[in-house]
Amino acid sequence: MASPEGTTPVKRTRVGRQASAPPAHASTPGDSSLGKVVPSGGERGPAGASRPAATRFAALRREILSPSLSFLMEAHDGLSAKIVEEAGFRGIWASGLTISAALGLRDSNEASWTQVLDVLEYMADATTLPILVDGDTGHGNFNNVRRFVRKLCERGLAGVCLEDKLFPKTNSFIGEGQPLADIEEFCGRIKAGKDAQLDDDFVLVARVEALVSGLGMAEALRRAEAYRRAGADAILIHSKRSTAEEVLAFAREWANRAPLVIVPTMYYATPTELFRAAGISTVIWANHLLRAAIAAMRETAARILEDESPVRVEGRVASVQDIFRLVGNAELEQAERRYLPAKPTAGAIVLAAAGGEPGGMASGRPKCMVDIRGRSLLETLVGTLRESGLRAVTVVRGYGKEAVRLDGVRMVDNDRHAETGEAWSLACAREAIRGETVLAYGDVLFRRYVLDALLASGADAVLAVDASAPRPRRSSPSPPDLVLADRRFSGHFLDDAPAHLLRVANDLPPEEACGEWMGLARFSARGAAWLAEEIAALEAEGLLARADLPLLLTRLAARHPVQVLYFTGPCWLDVDTLGDLAEARNFG
């Protein structure tokens, strides 16, 4: 194809597509983010030799110039950027509309360019993907554009899209006949942006608004050609019609003189294959994550307001653990181990030796290995322990012990589980009763804040107690462990006087009980020594084999102060029956 008048011919990878030959670039001094690579950046050379991975600048240029159709997904903050990467997209559209909306502002340059830059920096730090920034009009004239582009490059933002409208901008879908910038003035903004870029692979996309403003196809083509000559790397042709006819007609006339980008917000029902056939370079899904979040937040807020409780939404929303995973808590823990002075950490003992599956199930698996949404009950419990910083976990197994397995957990066997009680199982793991120690039944689940409260307690021995009335057990084979303490739960938020254990037993009259033990306790190093001494005393008296934990704890409380920490609400679950198991699968 002949080059348009006044332009220099370029090499093509297919009709009208400029070849990509990105040079290798070092990171700008003082900005480590520029050295980040995209997951797909590495390439294999002859004989399998690995080539250096591309920078994010080169990665975006590769997407824009690729002979195949590329997709960019909208993000508006660091978390949504992580979600885009997790979904598998190869690039991000940092939408001006959704960034403004997430700040509670209109898409009319109400957020200053420095405020937008702050959000963009969080996004760049949160992901390895290349980001194309919705730069609106460039936040002013050529001088604002070149400063903005330099700041984007310094923060590792791979490209910017500038639209040929006046500052302050108005969203394209509001009103009719919006005035556009003078062509020569806008070309000056493009030239200033290209001259200011700090990396040769930085991508500048020129957005043509002529169709949106009702100026017609000829004006759209005239502007696009002028912007291409001014140095734009790609053209974004925008339309607010409900069909793609206008955009596809432009693509035919444009004939791939430069990569063509589209935003099918209004004509979303168009089959993607039509875009491929038209030679479109890149499709931007421009605002869907924020719109999805708004719908979900409205529904969740309405339900919690109606119920005066989050019970109905738990299990339907992302878990707190998912948030921790997305924001990289695991990396922080690794860094803490590397950079902070070593300090003793609490260990945990989980008693999981007794019994089979919850009542009504008959597959022969140990109860602790039943499935809870793709993970065993034991794995779910140990996961909560580890989230609170407990790394050394010992599990006492017995019934069906061959099936009780979990990576990174020390297993101890109680081969006399059929004829002994819980105290004997604990004695099997007595070597682990040293330093700060958490003790838990293997068939309970609890919210992490319960464990965190026990770990934060200054008491040498402390039990988690549900101050609510004992719940019906639905024919549970094990009656609740009721607690008698020297003070009942008052329910007053100013009442922080400690309560101390007098007795734990399953034969206490419910009206006398102060609550139910949740099968979770914590002992300081001193308290762990008391616990070991009491186990030895039971053994010396010949009582250890048949003793249960309520007896052990009651004896301990007769010799030493054992604090009771009260909790209320659905913060834990004892999995004994099929009904409990169903509830556990919604226990997020």
Active-site residue set: 107
3-state SS track over 401-455: HHHCCCCCCEEEECCCCCCCCHHHHHHHCHHHCCCCEEEEECCEEECHHHHHHHH
Alpha-carbon gap, residue 232 to 220, rounded angstroms: 15
Residue 135, SS3? coil
Rounded CA separation 163/208 (Å): 6
Percentages of the chain per state (helix, strand, coil), in multiples of 5: 35, 20, 45
Q: Which residues pair with 12 in a beta bridge?
A: 18
CB-count exposure of residue 467 (10 Å: 0-12, 13-18, 19+): buried
Q: Which residues contact 488 (CB under 8 A, 6 or more apart)?
A: 467, 499, 514
* Closest residue by Cα to residue 262 from 270, 587, 317, 294: 270
Report the SS3 class of residue 385.
Answer: helix
Cα–Cα separations (whole angstroms), residue 67 to 4, 491, 574: 21, 67, 58
Sequence-distant (6+) residues with CB within 8 A of 149 are: 160, 192, 193, 196, 197, 202, 204
CB atoms within 10 A of CB 468: 15
Long-range contacts, stretch 100-109, CB < 8 angstroms, 24+ apart? 101/76, 101/290, 102/76, 102/77, 102/290, 106/171, 107/169, 107/170, 107/171, 108/168, 108/169, 108/170, 108/171, 109/136, 109/137, 109/139, 109/167, 109/168, 109/169
Give the closest residue to 539 by CA, choosing from 398, 437, 420. Answer: 420
Q: What are phi and psi of 503, to 5 degrees?
A: -160, 145
φ/ψ of 217, rounded to 5, equals: -70, -40
183 burial via Cβ count (<10 Å: 0-12, 13-18, 19+) = middle
Pseudo-torsion of CA 50, 53, 54, 60, nearest 10°?
A: 100
- Name the token pair of 45: 């050379």
Burial of 495 (0-12, 13-18, 19+ CB in 10 A): exposed
In this structure, what is the dihedral angle of CA atoms 536, 538, 539, 540, given to the nearest 10 degrees?
90
For residue 92, which of 128, 117, 116 has the smallest C-alpha distance?
A: 128
DSSP-assigned beta bridge partners for residue 50:
44
